[in-house]
Structure 1
Amino acid sequence: MAMHWDVFLDQVRERGDYPSRTEADRAARTVLALLGAHLVGEVRAELAARLPETFALILLNPLRAAEPLSAERFVRATAAWIEGATERTAAWDVSAVLSVAADAAGEELTRRVLLQLPPGYDLLFGRPQDSPVPDSAP
């Protein structure tokens, strides 16, 4: 079931510490448009189905990515699209939006989303992957 628009934006606003819903909305639109360009098929459709309709449409009609962006370049691209943003504020924007999207998606779908993305996005989604523990020799 899709997360309601008010709930989604209020969570983004809270996590991003935005003074207004307008700023949270701008960040959500930008980040989801860029994310949509990196996801394909069923995974993108399932994620869209769990987002508020406004944001689902943005995810499904994304900006076109010529190539998959690394997590670092994704943050840089976000900074380029948000007026007055720096890489540091854009990283904050991306994390605020993607962590709420991950909550809406649930763990299983979030894992499948991360499989379609280059390494490093797990931190942006607020889902750091556990490092494999090396076998300790006796």
Structure 2
Amino acid sequence: MRVNWDAFLAAVQERGEYPTMEEAERSSRVVLALLGAHLVGEVRNELAARLPETLALVLLNPLQAHEPLVPERFVRATAVWIEGATEQTAAWDVSAVLSVVADIAGDDLLNQILLQLPAGYNLLFGRPQPA
């Protein structure tokens, strides 16, 4: 079931402790564009079907990744795409967005997502152990 735009951004805003919805939206767009470059096939389509339509399109039309990024490089790439971000703030942004994505995905889909990603992404999704 697709989550609505306002509910998704409100959850990201709360987790990221962002002062505005615009900051939550900016982080969501960047993180989902990078995540979309790492997911393929039915897993990416299933996740997109659960996201608000605008963000589903971001996930389905990702930034191009030439190779799968390990979690540290994913955070660094996020920092590059968010104006004024540092690696520390980008890690916060990634965690805020991906923990909401994990909740929306549920354990079964999250496990399938994690299988497509390099080791260590479970922590970025806010899951100390694989789901």
- 1:4 equivalent to 2:4? Answer yes
Q: Match for residue 120 of structure 1? A: 120
1:96 aligns with 2:96: yes
- The aligned counterpart of 1:23 is 23
TM-score by length of 1: 0.93
Partner of 1:34: 34
Q: What displacement does 1:129 show? A: 1.2
Supply the distance in 1 between the matched residues of 2:73 and 2:44 (Cα, whole angstroms).
20
Q: Which amino acid aligns with 2:59?
A: L
Please, what is the CA RMSD of the aligned residues? 0.7
The Cα offsets for residues 83-134 of structure 1, whole Å up to 9 and x where unpaired, read as 000000000000000000111111110010000000010000011116xxxx
Q: Which runs of 4+ in 1 moved over 4 A?
A: none
Unmatched tracts of structure 2, length 5 or more: none
| TM-score w.r.t. length of structure 2 | 0.98
Q: How many residues align?
A: 130
Identity %: 73
Unaligned runs of at least 5 residues, structure 1: 131-138
**Which one has a larger percent helix, Structure 1 or Structure 2?**
2
Pairing of 1:51-70 with structure 2 (within 5 A): 51-70=51-70
Which whole-Å CA distance do the structure 2 matches of 1:128 and 1:110 have between them? 13
